[in-house]
Amino acid sequence: MSFKKSEKLYKKGLVNLVGAVNSPVRAFSSVGGNPLFIKKAKGTKITDVDGNKYVDLVLSYGPMILGHRHKKVQKGVEKALKSGYSFGASTENEIKLAKIVCDAFPGMDKVRFVNSGTEAVLSGIRLARAFTGKDKIIKFAGCYHGHQDALLVAAGSGLATLSLPGSKGVPEGAVKNTLIAEYNNLESVKKHFEGDDNIAGVIIEPIGGNMGVVIPQNNFLKELKDYLETKGALLIADEVMTGFRSKFGGAQELLGVEADITCLGKVIGGGFPVGAYGAREEIMQEVAPLGGMYQAGTLSGNPIAMAGGIATLTELKKQNPYKKFEEIGGILEVILLETAKKYNIDLVVNRFGSMINPFFTKVNVTNFDEAQTSDTEKFAVFFWEMIKNGVFLPPSQFEAWFLSSALTEKDIQKISKAIDMAMLAVSKM
Ligand code: PMP
């Protein structure tokens, strides 16, 4: 397998791009080696510039839930392109996508579209503060909520991968209202409320996906919501990753919890830049032009992105692949565990539907500290062996693998063989 063309582009990219990537999660820093450059993708496969073809378990970090270039999405987008790219004025498709989204989330009467998950969350946080008149926000260590200043502390995703405690350039003042709690630990949330009535709400990834997959234990989310109600604080569900992925109505539908404010991204744009935040009527009344909380966007509700979102969600609803995700995910989980056992490797697998992660550890992973016990050197060896055997994974221990509804039995067989080779390589370390 040759990576010559990728290497060449990488060197070229270094001249005018930072690290030759436009998002640090795409760098291969934690697995060694340089990023692959992608030429194209179709269905479950992604092809790099050297012509190497992989089963894609990155799926653009989640959005490509139907697989790449699904014909309905392609058609919807091509049709939209013929009418113009951006108008700076309202279009009917925004109303259509808003209805699909609001119908899926019972706690959402109104939604505002933005251009990324980061924007969705920073707006959702502003809204929580506007509605409650309070300043502080609690976040959980290891959760990632985009790159807004206030939440770049104890964050997962690229910060976990690069072992960064926070970001340079974030002034102390920007994080002074951010409090950190431990995932799956309600007591750590309660502690912050002791003697403090200035907490607007708690933001959470209802299923952790940015410290690797970490699952809420024993009704954690429901107990958190019940507790927050007693304190007059809001639950802000960051469903950028889990929205329309865990279930059509997100992790909230699955876990039977209704958040006060929901933030979305990834799948709702089907690969185009769309984010959204929404809530019940009384909360959304705060947002301009109805209320005094300002938030705007030149390209928000972009017609091409709306068309991508409508086509993706319509097809997703029709396919209803959540049972299939559970089955395939379950099969992968068993393959990972049994192969690790065969080669005598300590492995813990966390999975929630179509999000899955192996950790090279003995420790049950329920929070960020436990996730960090994983042997990242083993992961790096595993990662490259998977690449060599035709499976594209996120180049980090702390990023979830995603499944698409297009996956076939043949793909699973290929993944299974690759896992065997990769575990064998790890066992030889
Ligand atoms: N929240 C969560 C839970 C995410 O997983 C991400 C991105 N991985 C974001 C927010 C930020 O989204 P974006 O990268 O689109 O800004």
Question: Does ligand 1 lie within 6 Å of residue 400's CB atom?
Answer: no
In the predicted structure, residue 156 carries a pLDDT above the cut 80: no
Counting every residue written for the chain, the total comes to 429
Question: Does ligand 1 lie within 6 Å of residue 121's CB atom?
Answer: yes
Q: What are the pLDDT digits (tens) for 377-398?
A: 999 999 999 999 999 999 999 9
In terms of DSSP bridges, do strands 348-352 and 355-359 run parallel, antiparallel, or are they unpaired? antiparallel
Q: What are the pLDDT digits (tens) for 291-321?
A: 999 999 999 999 999 999 999 999 999 999 9
Element (H, E) at 220: helix 220-231
In the predicted structure, residue 160 carries a pLDDT above the cut 80: no
- What does the pLDDT read at residue 167? 86
Taking domain 4-65+321-427, whether its CATH number is 3.40.50.300 is answered by no
Torsion angle of the four alpha carbons 174, 179, 182, 188, in this order, in degrees rounded to the nearest 10: 180
Residue nearest to atom 13 of ligand 1 (CA): 117
ipTM score: 0.99
- What does the pLDDT read at residue 158? 76
Q: What are the pLDDT digits (tens) for 233-283?
A: 999 999 999 999 999 999 999 999 999 999 999 999 999 999 999 999 999
- What does the pLDDT read at residue 386? 98
In the predicted structure, residue 218 carries a pLDDT above the cut 90: no
Q: Scanning the structure block, which residue is given the tokens 């969705």?
A: 120
Question: Does ligand 1 lie within 6 Å of residue 255's CB atom?
Answer: no
* Cα atoms in the 13 Å half-sphere on the side-chain side of 136: 16
Architecture of domain 71-319: 3-Layer(aba) Sandwich (3.40)
Question: Does ligand 1 lie within 6 Å of residue 183's CB atom?
Answer: no
Q: Any idea where the domains of the chain sit in the sequence?
A: 4-65+321-427, 71-319
- Sequence-distant (6+) residues with CB within 8 A of 239 are 205, 206, 250, 251, 252, 259, 262, 263, 264
Residue 381 identity (one-letter amino acid):
V
Question: Does ligand 1 lie within 6 Å of residue 241's CB atom?
Answer: yes
Q: What are the pLDDT digits (tens) for 190-206?
A: 999 999 999 999 999 99
Q: Give me the active site residues, please.
A: 144, 238, 266
Write the DSSP string, 282-297.
HHHTTBTTTSSB----
**Residue 153 confidence class, pLDDT cut points 50, 70, 90:** confident
* 3-class secondary structure, 38: strand
Gap from CA of 284 to ligand 1 centroid (Å):
22
Average pLDDT over every residue of 157-184: 86
Gap from CA of 264 to ligand 1 centroid (Å):
9
Q: Which of 145, 205, 267 to mutate to test the pocket of ligand 1 (most atoms within 8 A of CB)?
A: 145
In the predicted structure, residue 90 carries a pLDDT above the cut 80: yes
Gap from CA of 416 to ligand 1 centroid (Å):
29
Question: Does ligand 1 lie within 6 Å of residue 61's CB atom?
Answer: yes
Gap from CA of 274 to ligand 1 centroid (Å):
11
Q: Pick from 295, 306, 294, 302: which is nearest to 270 by CA?
A: 306
- Scored b (16 or more CB within 10 A) or e, 274-308 reads bbbbbbeeebbebbeeeeebebeeeebbbbbbbbb
Gap from CA of 417 to ligand 1 centroid (Å):
31
Gap from CA of 409 to ligand 1 centroid (Å):
30
CA distance 180 to 191: 10
Residue 217 identity (one-letter amino acid):
Q
CA distance 190 to 220: 13
Q: Which two tokens stand for residue 326?
A: 């559970």
Gap from CA of 96 to ligand 1 centroid (Å):
24
Residues facing 46 on adjacent strands: 41, 54
In the predicted structure, residue 161 carries a pLDDT above the cut 90: no
CA distance 55 to 393: 9
Q: Pick from 247, 383, 409, 401: which is nearest to 328 by CA?
A: 409
Question: Does ligand 1 lie within 6 Å of residue 116's CB atom?
Answer: yes
- What does the pLDDT read at residue 9? 98
Q: What are the pLDDT digits (tens) for 109-135?
A: 999 999 999 999 999 999 999 999 999
Query: The pTM is what?
Result: 0.97
Q: Which of 25, 203, 241 to mutate to test the pocket of ligand 1 (most atoms within 8 A of CB)?
A: 241
Residue nearest to atom 1 of ligand 1 (CA): 145
- Sequence-distant (6+) residues with CB within 8 A of 283 are 127, 131, 234, 260, 261
Q: What are the pLDDT digits (tens) for 397-425?
A: 999 999 999 999 999 999 999 999 999 99
Question: Does ligand 1 lie within 6 Å of residue 405's CB atom?
Answer: no
Q: What are the pLDDT digits (tens) for 208-217?
A: 999 999 999 9
**Residue 166 confidence class, pLDDT cut points 50, 70, 90:** confident
Query: Measured at the alpha carbon of residue 121, what is the angle toward residues 115 and 123, in degrees to the nearest 5?
Result: 80
Question: Does ligand 1 lie within 6 Å of residue 118's CB atom?
Answer: yes
Residue nearest to atom 15 of ligand 1 (CA): 117
Contact (CB, 8 A) for 251 and 224: no
